[in-house]
Amino acid sequence: AQRVTQPEKLLSVFKGAPVELKCNYSYSGSPELFWYVQYSRQRLQLLLRHISRESIKGFTADLNKGETSFHLKKPFAQEEDSAMYYCALRGSARQLTFGSGTQLTVLP
């Protein structure tokens, strides 16, 4: 079975502060990990995927297989980063399993 856990439902940081959204997963094989973001009144969209090791909108995420984590980080949060963030895993069955999400609020 595969599971994704996002321990924080709500997270607030001040503009310019670093932000880290936690994601832990449970999967016996080699997973593909993704971060999705949903801005207010917009559809769910892909933010980044671990395999490409890219930085999108200043966000990065490193897959730590030892700790089974895929935390999302940004060194300097911006107000426009306020959104709901979902961590997702795709295993051998090739279906996405989502965490319950973290609502990030960046305060001015």
Partner 1 sequence: DAGVTQSPTHLIKTRGQQVTLRCSPKSGHDTVSWYQQALGQGPQFIFQYYEEEERQRGNFPDRFSGHQFPNYSSELNVNALLLGDSALYLCASRPSGTGPLGYTFGSGTRLTVV
Q: Binding residues for partner 1, per CB under 8 A?
A: 4, 6, 9, 32, 34, 36, 43-46, 49, 51, 86, 88, 90, 93-101
CB of 34 to partner 1, least distance (A): 5
Of 43 and 66, the one with the shorter C-beta distance to partner 1 is 43
CB of 57 to partner 1, least distance (A): 15
Of 34 and 59, the one with the shorter C-beta distance to partner 1 is 34
User: What are phi and psi for residue 90, nearest 5 degrees?
Assistant: -125, 120
Tokens 């079975």 sit at which residue?
A: 1
CB of 29 to partner 1, least distance (A): 13
Exposed/middle/buried for residue 24 (C-beta within 10 Å: 0-12, 13-18, 19+): middle
Q: Retrieve residue 39's tokens.
A: 């801005």
